[in-house]
Structure 1
Amino acid sequence: MTHQVPRQATFDGRGLLCVTLLLRLRAAIADAPAGTLVHVRATDPAAPLDLPAWCHFTGHHYLGPVDEDTYALRTAADPAPTAPGAPWHRPAQP
């Protein structure tokens, strides 16, 4: 029996406002395998609220704070898409 070591990644979003942070985070983890543990570094005061809400919206699994400015999430197998310039909206339907 083989065991795969879970993949890990760190995303440094310090200094970014949450909308920009979420757009860049989305791009950074777009090709990450399901189950990847992602540590997100964020200094925006809204991050403790926005990250879990965004994870819920997209289907990623918010794991909680790691320390003062680092939060953890685990990538979903099939996250819900969001609009290109808006992390809080679904893509427009044709």
Structure 2
Amino acid sequence: MAGEGADPVIIDGGDRACVRLLLELRGRLAELPAGTIVHLIAGDPAAPLDLAAWCHLTGHGYLGTVPPPYGERPAYALRVADAPRPTQAGSPWRPQR
């Protein structure tokens, strides 16, 4: 896979709500090769639940929490899928029809 052994791509979501994070994440992951590991830094307390559910919906691999080096800022890892299931552009939590 393209991302194996490479440094992860880091996306800093700051304190944005998960809805905004998923909108950004949808676009960013589409630009990355399959297998790329992404570390999403996200302060929204719902992030681990929403991100895991979104990965399940799209086929991306949710890898769980990332231990420091991000200090006190929570971070979560995922692996870009070979053929992710498409979602709606304005509602990335809904499958594309």
When normalised by structure 2's length, the TM-score is 0.84
Distance in 2 between the 1:7 and 1:77 partners?
18
Q: Which residue pairs with 2:76 in the alignment?
A: 71
Task: Give 1 or 2 for the bigger CA radius of gyration.
Answer: 1
Paired-residue identity, %: 53
Which letter does structure 1 place at the counterpart of 2:37? L
Alignment of 1:45-56 (within 5 A): 45-56=45-56
Change in 2 beyond 3 A, CA 1:78/1:7: farther
Q: Which residue pairs with 2:41 in the alignment?
A: 41
**Cα RMSD, aligned residues only:** 1.5
* Unaligned runs of at least 5 residues, structure 1: none
Distance in 2 between the 1:46 and 1:5 partners?
29
Q: Which residue pairs with 2:22 in the alignment?
A: 22
- Shift in Å, 1:31: 1.6
Q: Which residue pairs with 1:6 in the alignment?
A: 6
Match of 2:96 among 55, 73, 91: 91
Which runs of structure 1 show a deviation greater than 6 angstroms over 4 or more consecutive aligned residues? none
* Unaligned runs of at least 5 residues, structure 2: 68-72
Are 1:63 and 1:71, in contact at CA under 8 Å, matched by a contact in 2?
yes
